[in-house]
């Protein structure tokens, strides 16, 4: 899949790597310009994670959560960092709790997508496919934008492909 076909990751200059389902910086200039314009600490954490600088991302999210412990986005990023550092069991547990707390809201689809990514990282492709499928259903029902539906569809397809491969 060509770089131009990678799903948007939600921050300028970033996209979702279709093989790992993790964010990656694909346009350093656009990413740097957007970082210079934002004061949201979650954006900086996200970019650190997209650059693969997980230790720095963990420090940044910890500092940001001290100031804003209830931030939904920071909680999700904290779990993403756990998954990226191979602590997927903790990431899955946190995301399941978070999904329960936002059930029935527009945020539920986003949490389910991140839950699926944590499960995917752990090699739990069947569970990941279930999470991605539910996120996709919720996004379609809510009339989400094409980029969100595309990223959910790609993640679901990838998880199903690996689930089938593991079964054979």
Q: Which pLDDT score is estimated for 33?
A: 98
Q: Name the token pair of 143.
A: 């009339």
Q: Which pLDDT score is estimated for 3?
A: 77
**H/E stretch holding 131:** helix 125-142
Q: Name the token pair of 144.
A: 């989400």
φ/ψ of residue 24, rounded to 5: -145, 145
Q: Name the token pair of 126.
A: 């069947």
Q: What is the pLDDT along the chain (168 residues), one digit of tens a residue?
A: 677 789 999 999 999 999 999 999 999 999 999 999 999 999 999 999 999 999 999 999 999 999 999 999 999 999 999 999 999 999 999 999 999 999 999 899 999 999 999 999 999 999 999 999 999 999 999 999 999 999 999 999 999 999 999 888
Q: Which pLDDT score is estimated for 106?
A: 87
Q: Which pLDDT score is estimated for 124?
A: 96
* pTM, to two decimals: 0.94
Q: Which pLDDT score is estimated for 2?
A: 77
Q: Which pLDDT score is estimated for 22?
A: 94
């Amino acid at each position: 899949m060509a770089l131009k076909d990678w799903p948007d990751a939600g921050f300028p200059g970033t996209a979702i790597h279709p093989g790992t389902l993790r964010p990656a910086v694909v346009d350093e200039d656009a990413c740097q310009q957007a970082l210079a314009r934002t004061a949201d600490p979650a954006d900086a954490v996200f970019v650190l994670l997209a650059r693969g600088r997980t230790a720095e991302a963990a420090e940044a999210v910890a500092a940001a959560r001290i100031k804003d412990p209830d931030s939904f986005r920071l909680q999700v990023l904290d779990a993403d960092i756990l998954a990226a550092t191979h602590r997927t069991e903790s990431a899955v547990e946190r995301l399941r709790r978070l999904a329960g707390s936002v059930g029935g809201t527009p945020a539920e689809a986003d949490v389910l997508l991140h839950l699926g990514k944590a499960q995917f990282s752990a090699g739990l492709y069947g569970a990941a496919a279930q999470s991605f499928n539910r996120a996709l259903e919720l996004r379609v029902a809510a009339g989400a934008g094409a980029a969100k539906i595309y990223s959910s569809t790609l993640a679901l397809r990838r998880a199903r492909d690996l689930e089938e491969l593991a079964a054979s």
